Amino acid sequence: MSTATGYNFAYLDEQSKRMIRRAILKGVAIPGYQVPFGGREMPLPHGWGTGGMQVTASVIGETDKLKVIDQGADDTTNAVSIRRFFAHTAGVETTEQTADATLIQTRHRIPERPLQADQILIYQVPIPEPLRFIEPRESETRKMHALSEYGAMQVKLYEDVARFGHIATSYDYPVMVNNRYMMDPSPIPKFDNPKMSMMPALQLFGAGFEKRIYAVPPFTQVESLDFDDHPFEVQSWDEACAICGSDHSFLDEVITDDNGSKMFVCSDTDYCRERVEQGFVGTAADLPIADLSIAEVETN
Amino acid sequence: MAVSSHELIAGFADPVQASQQVFRAALKVMSEPGTRVEVDYVEQAPKGLDLSTWQLALSLLDPDTRVWLSPTLASSDAVISNLRFHCQCPLVEFPKDADFAIALNTELPQLAELNWGSAEYPDRSTTLVVQVPALSAEPFWTLSGPGIEHTRSLRIAGLPDAFRAELIKSRQRFPLGIDTFWCCDNRLTALPRTTKIEPRTTAIEPLNTEQEAC
Ligand SMILES: [Zn+2]
């Protein structure tokens, strides 16, 4: 496949790619540590996640197969546009199937299907610094990371426990990487946090506005913060997916008609489709999946 | 030193694609330490450089990266001319000032002479690229750490004992540290600062590795 003429391959200039590539290598060498990077801005529509785009543009090659998900779905406007963008500027094949993809750019979910060695998961990160809301000054958060001074985050989580009786933070739930650096996993649901640990695939994180890259190499320990008397727990549902019957995926609440009828379906649309193909059924098995993609999705 | 045009050789035939492929090879070995990959995007390297060293340079070096060369490489017209011409990277006199240090296994700087980064910015450290006579999966070193599910075996031939000891000990200073690429002909592996190295045998390894392929 050939790329459109008049563009740099994958849109980004070669010098910026080299800079980002060197930052990625350092990020991999220091798991969970935020590497600052320079380079030019990548002028892109709002909502595409420049950081994730810059990382993808620097990593992607002609033989890659790209999957893009937004909140678990392959068919949202942003996911479709980003896939088209790289198909156009890099001439790569795209796919919606997790198992087929070599690169997966994601906003806010980790696929339910376990990722494999040699796959790369690229997260779009809005705010890379987990300590930012505690300490606005970069020079100070750098020091806190240097000294592993993470008590303030424990205090914040414990305030949750004091107020609600449990840790209320359910997205952006902070983790410790390789027992050393505190890391913001990006706004994935904490349901996905355990998938980050010892994952056979490489995980790269790009924050465009703050120009930070960080990484979790394959088979690296990632632990969610918790307390002895309040251990980390993931979200769970009493319902199963109405389409595929899955009782172990992250579910979205979907409004199915004008009367406000609701049901729960897998947020990972590819996983749900795969299960339906395998013959799994839910309580709304007769409802075509296509109807759901246009329904209003509420994440809880 | 100026560029000697008669020493110049071709770089990548397709710089955009080859740079990306070599970067992915580098990313693979840095994120799965001790795995060995082959890179074959050039026909030849400047005399003195291995094919894999040359391809890493073409992929990662540019005017923003300060480079230190070990004495034999630093005095090679072919190496200097091609690095200047293809990468335009500034060359520095002291390893401490280098973003990348490229060394022969017989001319290794002491690790302490390199830049280890700072507590706030451990990424601002020298990446060390070493050319060695052989790389294999023989169980001389047992590696563990991020990127390795259980353990991985690696043998890097031709390293002075003192350097081996220094490298193993350097892990104590994490997150400061030196990340390393190891090049042999068209092969490449890496050991980031996170990789723990357990010498499996205390026997002294012979330095004579001439019959071995890498
Ligand atoms: Zn489902």
Q: How far is B76 from chain A (nearest CA, A)?
A: 26
> The tokens 């392959």 sit on which residue?
A74
User: Per-residue pLDDT for A242 more than 80?
Assistant: yes
Instruction: Tell me the sheet residues that pair with A93.
Output: A65
User: Per-residue pLDDT for A95 more than 70?
Assistant: yes
Asked, for residue B3, whether it belongs to a domain, the answer is: no
Within 10 angstroms of residue B79's Cβ, the number of other Cβ atoms is: 24
Within 10 angstroms of residue A288's Cβ, the number of other Cβ atoms is: 9
Of A212, A214, A208, residue with least CA distance to A41: A208
Q: What is the pLDDT of residue A288?
A: 53
3-state secondary structure at position B114: coil
Q: What is the pLDDT of residue A5?
A: 56
User: Per-residue pLDDT for A189 more than 70?
Assistant: yes
Asked, for residue B7, whether it belongs to a domain, the answer is: no
3-state secondary structure at position A36: strand
Mean pLDDT (chain A) is 91
Cβ atoms of B191 and B180 closer than 8 Å = yes
> What tokens does A287 get?
């409802």
User: Per-residue pLDDT for A168 more than 90?
Assistant: no
Nearest C-alpha in A relative to B18:
A61
Which residues in chain B touch residue A25, judged by CB atoms under 8 angstroms apart? 26-27, 30, 60, 127, 179
Cβ atoms of B61 and B142 closer than 8 Å = no
Query: Among the options A27, A32, A49, A282, which is catalytic?
Result: A32
CB-side neighbour CA atoms (13 Å) of B107: 16
Query: Among the options A72, A206, A208, A244, which is catalytic?
Result: A244
**B3 pLDDT tier (thresholds 50, 70, 90):** confident
> The tokens 């390297």 sit on which residue?
B45
Q: What is the pLDDT of residue B213?
A: 54
3-state secondary structure at position A205: strand
Q: What is the pLDDT of residue A290?
A: 46
Mean pLDDT of A118-132: 96
Q: Which domain holds residue B43?
A: 12-193
Phi and psi, residue B37, nearest 5°? -125, 160
> Are the beta carbons of A219 and B148 separated by less than 8 Å?
yes
> What tokens does A125 get?
């990160």
CATH at residue B184: 3.40.50.11310
| Residue B131 contacts A, CB cutoff 8 Å | no
| Residue B23 contacts A, CB cutoff 8 Å | yes
Mean pLDDT of B88-93: 98
Residue A244 annotated as catalytic: yes
Give every CB contact of residue A200 below 8 A, 6+ residues apart in sequence.
A114, A115, A116, A117, A119, A218, A219, B149
Nearest to A146 among B19, B99, B119 (CB): B119
Distance A223 CA to ligand 1 centre (A): 27
Domains of chain A, by residue range, sit at: 14-224, 251-299
Asked, for residue B210, whether it belongs to a domain, the answer is: no
> What tokens does A148 get?
């592993």
| Residue A55 contacts B, CB cutoff 8 Å | no
Q: What is the pLDDT of residue A257?
A: 84
Taken in order B33, B97, B176, B207, is the CA torsion positive or negative? positive
Q: What is the pLDDT of residue B150?
A: 97
Phi and psi, residue A66, nearest 5°? -105, 135
Task: Give the C-alpha separation, A9 to A58, whole Å.
Answer: 10
> Are the beta carbons of B60 and A21 separated by less than 8 Å?
yes
Within 10 angstroms of residue B138's Cβ, the number of other Cβ atoms is: 15
Asked, for residue B200, whether it belongs to a domain, the answer is: no
| Residue A126 contacts B, CB cutoff 8 Å | no
Mean pLDDT of B172-182: 97
Of A177, A282, A247, residue with least CA distance to B175: A177
Q: What is the pLDDT of residue A45?
A: 81
Asked, for residue B149, whether it belongs to a domain, the answer is: yes
Superfamily designation of domain A14-224: Bacterial phosphonate metabolism protein PhnH (3.40.50.11310)
Which residues in chain A touch residue B178, judged by CB atoms under 8 angstroms apart? none
> Are the beta carbons of A215 and B31 separated by less than 8 Å?
yes
Taken in order A46, A49, A53, A55, is the CA torsion positive or negative? positive
Ranges A188-192, A210-214, B61-65, B137-141: which has the least confidence: B137-141
> Are the beta carbons of B123 and A23 separated by less than 8 Å?
yes
Q: What is the pLDDT of residue B200?
A: 76
Residue A91 annotated as catalytic: no
Query: Among the options A51, A208, A241, A282, which is catalytic?
Result: A241
CB-side neighbour CA atoms (13 Å) of B132: 23
Cβ atoms of A235 and A170 closer than 8 Å = yes
Q: What pTM does this model have? A: 0.94
DSSP state of A46: T
Q: Number of helices and strands (H, E) in chain B?
A: 5, 9
Alpha-carbon distance values, A93 to A67, A105, B24 (Å): 9, 14, 18
Asked, for residue B98, whether it belongs to a domain, the answer is: yes
User: Per-residue pLDDT for A267 more than 90?
Assistant: yes
pLDDT tens digits, residue range B8-21?
Answer: 999 999 999 999 99
Cβ atoms of A270 and A100 closer than 8 Å = no
Within 10 angstroms of residue A261's Cβ, the number of other Cβ atoms is: 9
E strand or H helix at A218: none
Q: What is the pLDDT of residue B202?
A: 54
Taken in order A192, A198, A203, A207, is the CA torsion positive or negative? positive
3-state secondary structure at position B95: helix
